[in-house]
Amino acid sequence: MIKMHCTVSGKVQGVAYRAYAQDSAVLLELVGHVKNLSDGTVEVVAEGRSEVLKEFVEYLHEGSLLAQVESVAVEWGTAGRTFSEFSVLH
């Protein structure tokens, strides 16, 4: 298990992006969280197998129907097993 931390930029707030990310993560059986940041970006933290996380990054690039994703910055690390599910933080 590894951990990824992503910062997603573009038109990603107010367009159901967090719900899309959560639905995608649950579908892929990942754990972690997604939340809006004050600078207009979205933070995504997820833990799982590397090949599944790489697939999740593709989902993040696509985004919800109304989203316009400009970039997804990804940092990889060691999973801390701190999550039991994938949640939306407010």
Total count of domains within the chain: 1
pLDDT tier at 82 (50, 70, 90 boundaries)? Answer: confident
DSSP 8-state symbol, 22:
H
State the Cα–Cα distance between residues 55 and 51, nearest whole angstrom.
6
- Evaluate whether residue 22 is within a structural domain: yes
CATH number of the domain where residue 53 is located: 3.30.70.100
What range defines the domain where residue 9 resides? 2-79
State the Cα–Cα distance between residues 82 and 32, nearest whole angstrom.
8
- Residue positions annotated with a catalytic role: 18, 36
pTM: 0.96
State the Cα–Cα distance between residues 42 and 8, nearest whole angstrom.
5
- Evaluate whether residue 84 is within a structural domain: no
Strand partners, 11: 68
Summarised one tens digit per residue, pLDDT across range 25-67 is 999 999 999 999 999 999 999 999 999 999 999 999 999 999 9
